[in-house]
Amino acid sequence: MVIQVGYFSLVLTFLVALYGAGAAAYGAIRRKTEFVESARHAMLLTWPLVTVSVLAIVWLLVSGDFQVRYVYSTTSNDMPIYLKVTALWGGQAGSLVFWSWLMAAFTSAASLRKWDRDRELLPWVVVVTMVNLAFFLSLSILFENPFARMWRTPDGSQVTAMFQPGGTMPLIPIDGRGLNPLLRHPGMIVHPPMQYLGFISFVIPYAFAIGALINGRIDDRWIRISRRWTLVAWLFLSLGLLLGSWWAYDVLGWGGYWGWDPVEVSALIPWLSATAFIHSVMIYEKRGMLKQWNMVLIILTYALVLFSTFLTRSGVLSSVHAFAESAIGPMFFGFIGVTFIASLILLIRRWGALRSESQLHSLLSREALLLLNNLLFIGILVVCVWGMLFPLISELATGQKVTVGPPYYERAIAPLGIGLMLIMGVAPLSTYGRASWKPLVRALLKPFAASLLVPLVLALRGITNLGALLGFWASALVALVTLYEFWRGAVARHRRHGEILPLALWRLAGRNRRRYGGYVIHLCAVLMALGIIGIEMYQTETQATLARGEQLTLGRYVIIYDSLAQFDDPGGRYVTRAVVSVYRDGKYVGEVYPRQDYYYAPEMTVTIPGVRSTLEDDLNVMLVGWEPIPTGGTTFRVILNPLVNFIWLGGLLFIFGTLVAAWPDRKS
């Protein structure tokens, strides 16, 4: 009964979404508000309907109904309940329903806003969101049905179908295959939902943009309405990327936070265009410029969201992050093409009306610097897209797949990243309009002079890597300029109102949350840049086979191999765990426990590093191999990652900065 209710709820939601799109379009064209309002109610109905399907899947996963193919593929009896629930997004079929559920939630939330001033946009927002929702629901209904069951034919073969084929018997396995061991991690609980939320929520600003193009209301209203939706989407997508980095760093055992895996890159590219859009919108709101460019960026961002999702779910890319090959590929690719072409037609139709209200007057103005910032982000995007697609193009053209590895990305992106940091350091001190170089130089002089002390001190301490010195200097410049802006604003308010400096700063930020929230995000970028420089420039590693009691040295650390144990774990795995003592500068600082977990179902070995973590560095000790216990030697790989925890610290502060920027400004 649960299976039938869950499936037919999906079908009903699909029909309601189609009705909503059709009724909204008809109401807009015929100017019949009752149809538009009916469409809005249909939009609101989609979320509770999909919720029924989601709850049905969760029930089947938790109860262990292994006749359902999806339950059999992603769970097993020995999995804890929390992992059975997270299996909802651990496979293709369940994650598509979860995707639709989140999209329905966002679209329903958008429909609840006050539409009094924007009645002409409402029907087209409903059309765009409901068409997108109906498409993703159709993938679940036609190709990746999470409620399909397994049946045995008279000749002993197996078939998968929603309803029982003639002459078959139910096939009910005793146990399931279980979730991929790489996904049995706390990061699995939060990383995919954050990633999905980031992707999905961009449908709202995209829908407002398309609604404005269709309706012809091309003033800044659609931007103002969707600005916080964009910031929320950008926050979720940023958190998804950050949590994915943490998961890779903690689980995959390769000692890095980012491997330039094709699926990692595909998730990054919409973030790049969205970040450019957020900065570009500021130019329009202040100067009435780049209306055409803003529309291009939001269309591009949503197209990249769909394209990234297609690459991950179609099986085109081979990656630990990707789903297996699926039949949804051709239909998905066709939907991307139709969506993108329709958006371009609407854009071309309104292109002339989207001309800017003012012109660029100075190359040193803030709008000029923000435009350069946009170009650098798009430059990084082009580098990423080319690196991601080149192996596929090469395979189609020559039959040979050429691998594009981290060196390509790092060499191409590093100078663009330095350029972004420099703009981040200069732009806050420039002004809009007819800016001149003299006021900018005066404002920049103090933080610039102070920033030069950083590479000087580092050079005197023995750091000679020019790339690292340049990166540390650029980071110092951004930090000093940002803090200088906080100081200048607080002092000015202190003199004007007589408030103590902390109170002056608090009230100043409260009156312009968007500006000062952006400054906090700039400080986050500094912290994360420090972590990236540390791990990219100064990561060291070694590997050795040790007998019990022997030691290995890496930098200021010495590790001593104490013991090795092997045992069965209740979680359906066989664990081999080493105990290693860690000394720093000759002082004992604790033990780490590197291990390898062999999972019986599915058969897979996962390497879990032992980590000694401080703000200054991480010492990762990995168990590579071992000979028979107790006399044999054991092989360890040891990696030292300086400053890597600044990446995670910057990520935490990033959440705060984005929430500040997205919070409504005070009117007084």
Tokens standing for 107? 């679209």
Tokens standing for 278? 């957020």
DSSP state of 401: -
Q: How big is the CA angle at 168 (ends 163 and 173), to the nearest 5 degrees? A: 85
**Contact criterion met (CB below 8 Å) for 309 and 298:** no
Q: How many whole angstroms separate alpha carbon 498 and alpha carbon 225?
A: 36
How high is the pLDDT of residue 182? 73
- Residue ranges per domain, the chain? 1-179, 189-406, 407-538, 540-647
**Contact criterion met (CB below 8 Å) for 196 and 259:** no
Tokens standing for 197? 């939320």
pLDDT per residue as tens digits for the range 112-168: 888 878 888 999 999 999 999 999 999 999 999 999 999 999 888 999 999 999 889
How high is the pLDDT of residue 320? 46
- DSSP 3-state of 119: coil
The pTM of this model reads 0.90
User: Which positions of the chain have pLDDT values less than 50?
Assistant: 320-322, 667-668
The residue assigned the tokens 């491997």 is: 259
**C-alpha atoms less than 13 angstroms from C-alpha of 120 in its C-beta half-sphere:** 11
How high is the pLDDT of residue 325? 55
How high is the pLDDT of residue 322? 47
Tokens standing for 455? 């590479």
How high is the pLDDT of residue 601? 72
Tokens standing for 250? 């903690």
**Between 2.60.40, 2.60.98, 2.60.120, 3.40.50, what CATH number should domain 540-647 receive?**
2.60.98
Q: How many whole angstroms separate alpha carbon 385 and alpha carbon 105?
A: 31
Beta bridge partners of 500: none
